[in-house]
Amino acid sequence: MNSSVLIESFAEFAKFKNIDRPTMMRILEDVFRTMIRKKWGTDENFDIILNVEKGDLEIWRNREIVDDNSEDIWDHDKIALSDARKIEPDFEVGEEVSEEVKLEDFGRRAVLTARQTLIQRIKDMEKELLFQKYKDLVGEIISGEVYQVWNREVLLLDQDENELLIPKGEQIPKDRYRKGDVVRAVVQRVEIVNGNPKIILSRTSPTFLERLFENEVPEIFDGLIAIKKIVREPGERAKVAVESFDDRIDPVGACVGMKGSRIHSIVRELENENIDVINYTENLELYIQRALSPAKISSMKIDEESGRVSVFLKPDQVSLAIGKGGQNIKLASRLVDMEIDVFRESESYEEDISLEEFSDEIEDWVIAELRRIGLDTAKSVLAVTKDDLLRRTELEEETIDDVLSILREELEEEDNQ
């Protein structure tokens, strides 16, 4: 393989990979200098002249002429007078000889190795460029086409056919993917795994919801409205606290849009996730009231030192405050960064049953622990998930299972009477 074929094939490959000319030149020179160092031990006294467009390569070895009996005759940048005169008969001691080195002088194996090295350098650079590109896109929404669906992740391809992954934990539970679907997600992180960039996307990240709001609400994009905090149960419910920097703009109304026009497209993108937009305030009591919407709070006690707040509600507001599966109170607690305990105001419990009536089946300390977090009736306990009870109380899983079984059995008997 001569130099022109090698350079032209490399240039064509580099162009296909969108590598710019200066980078291409640098890679070529680096590879040729590596070949020189392997053959002669150094490249200090060599000049390389490249013309990528014409496929030309010139390598020149520069040495100073010394007497045949000189002690420096074995230095890498010296040449004996007798050897120099084989190149040009009228050379004299002290002059410099520039001798052209042909690619063939390196040997066939070295040239083939150089070709493989050039291709590998381009591939490595391509990986580096891909890593840098997506590293700069972390936190931004991109689109990809579904290429393959596995149990634990979905493989997408971007417009340049780079591979993108959405792991199971970053998918909205209601998401269903088919090959060819175009999916939007936020770039969550970029990693290097076994020398290859791994691009992880997310549809469950609060950042994804934040970017969707920026796309749909011009006032947010323009900085007139700020998103203070987002908490999500992906695909189920989210709470978004917003603040306006312009007194003339209602932040909640701007985010929702006329007849919900702005928020509807976001809800559809998130598989009908129920989104509560809340007007942020530094008044903690008012902020908690808004966070627990749609429930109406009668009163509350805030203990900022312990990070807990006790809210008191009328019986018909308790289930609204807790929400389906405890979602509303869980998200509200995360939004205000406090643990919220719900207490029912002393009124008739209608068709509910006070926990005190189960004292013969449930130990008093267990009832006291449930009351501590605002659960004082059978229905209020059953409205909270077991995971939430484990998180918010000091009760063991076996104890919680027993309590839930007792309460369900009693309420079923009541319904059958």
Asked whether the predicted pLDDT for residue 130 surpasses 80, the reply is yes
Given the DSSP bridges, would you call strands 308-313 and 299-303 parallel, antiparallel or unpaired?
Answer: antiparallel
Could you identify the residue written with the tokens 């869980």?
A: 330
319/243: higher pLDDT = 243
CA within 13 Å, CB half, 176: 1
- How many residues are there in the chain? 417
- The answer to whether residues 343 and 396 touch, using CB atoms and an 8 Å cutoff, is no
Q: Which residue type does 184 have?
A: R
Spatial distance between the Cα atoms of 399 and 369, rounded to a whole number of angstroms: 12
Could you identify the residue written with the tokens 């020398």?
A: 195
pLDDT score, position 16: 67
pLDDT tens digit sequence for 282-311? 999 999 999 998 899 988 999 988 899 999
CA neighbor of 378 nearest in space, from 347, 355, 401, 412: 355
- The answer to whether residues 153 and 166 touch, using CB atoms and an 8 Å cutoff, is yes
Asked whether the predicted pLDDT for residue 147 surpasses 80, the reply is yes
pLDDT score, position 142: 96
pLDDT score, position 371: 84
Q: What is the DSSP letter of 233?
A: E
pLDDT score, position 165: 97
Give Rg (Cα) of the chain. 36
Asked whether the predicted pLDDT for residue 380 surpasses 90, the reply is no
CA neighbor of 255 nearest in space, from 269, 267, 273: 267
- Whether this prediction's pTM lies above 0.85 is answered by no
Alpha carbon distances (Å) from 116 to 28, 57, 103, 105, 109 = 12, 18, 15, 18, 11
Q: Which residue type does 4 have?
A: S
CA neighbor of 245 nearest in space, from 229, 228, 224, 221: 224
Spatial distance between the Cα atoms of 398 and 410, rounded to a whole number of angstroms: 19
Spatial distance between the Cα atoms of 331 and 237, rounded to a whole number of angstroms: 8
CA neighbor of 147 nearest in space, from 138, 137, 155, 158: 155
Asked whether the predicted pLDDT for residue 349 surpasses 50, the reply is no
Give the helix, strand, coil percentages of the chain, each rounded to 5: 45, 25, 30
CA within 13 Å, CB half, 199: 29
pLDDT tens digit sequence for 165-178? 999 999 999 999 99
Asked whether the predicted pLDDT for residue 70 surpasses 50, the reply is yes
Given the DSSP bridges, would you call strands 46-51 and 56-66 parallel, antiparallel or unpaired?
Answer: antiparallel
**Region of residue 161 (left: phi > 0; alpha: psi -120 to 50; beta: else):** left
Task: Return the SS3 of 379.
Answer: helix
pLDDT tens digit sequence for 173-224? 999 999 999 999 999 999 999 889 999 999 999 999 999 999 999 999 999 9
What are residue 58's DSSP bridge partners? 49
Task: Return the SS3 of 397.
Answer: helix
pLDDT score, position 21: 75
Task: Spell out the domains of the chain, with CATH numbers in brackets.
Answer: 3-132 (3.30.1480), 137-204 (2.40.50.140)
Spatial distance between the Cα atoms of 133 and 197, rounded to a whole number of angstroms: 11
